[in-house]
């Protein structure tokens, strides 16, 4: 498996372990196994045809954007430091940037 990242190896190992676990837990027509359908819905062994609601890409992007923290706008003196002079900083990193001459911008 040369040429793949550690994360990819771990993901593949987890998939193999999950596949092995599902076959050893009675995947012999017990109605508990789940298989992905071509349209992304889950097919259950009981034939009920439950489907997941469709996901709108724009709504998902908005949710992911809203989930993040509010960034802090910081600046530093152009005459004393080389570029860049403006930054959007995660709130947990404000102290680290302040040590490098950055100041919270007065918006």
**In sequence order, what DSSP letters do the residues of 29-49 get, joined into one string?**
TSS--EEE-TTS-EEETT---
Considering the domain architecture, whether residues 13 and 48 belong to the same structural domain is answered as: yes
Considering the domain architecture, whether residues 40 and 77 belong to the same structural domain is answered as: no
Considering the domain architecture, whether residues 48 and 73 belong to the same structural domain is answered as: no
pTM, full prediction: 0.39
Does residue 63 form part of some domain?
Answer: no
Does residue 26 form part of some domain?
Answer: yes
Does residue 43 form part of some domain?
Answer: yes
**Which whole-number Å values give the CA distances from 2 to 8, 9, 24, 70, in the listed order?**
11, 10, 30, 40
pLDDT of 1-49, one tens digit each?
Answer: 567 888 888 888 888 888 887 776 655 544 445 555 555 555 555 555 5
Residue 57 to residue 60: CA distance in whole angstroms: 5
Residue 77 to residue 85: CA distance in whole angstroms: 7
Confidence band of 75 (pLDDT split at 50, 70, 90): very high
Paired with 87 in beta bridges are: 74
Q: Six-digit token pair at 35?
A: 């298989």
Considering the domain architecture, whether residues 45 and 78 belong to the same structural domain is answered as: no
Domain span at residue 10? Answer: 6-52
Q: How many domains does the chain have?
A: 2
């Amino acid at each position: 498996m040369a040429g793949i990242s550690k994360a990819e190896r771990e993901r593949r190992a987890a998939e193999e372990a999950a596949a092995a676990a599902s076959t050893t837990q009675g995947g012999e027509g017990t109605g508990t196994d789940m298989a992905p359908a071509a349209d992304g819905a889950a097919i259950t062994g009981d034939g009920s045809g439950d489907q997941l609601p469709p996901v709108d890409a724009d709504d998902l992007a908005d949710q992911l954007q809203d989930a993040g923290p509010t960034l802090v706008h910081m600046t530093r003196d152009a005459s004393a430091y080389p570029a860049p002079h403006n930054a959007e900083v995660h709130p947990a990193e404000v102290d680290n940037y302040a040590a490098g001459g950055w100041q919270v911008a007065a918006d």
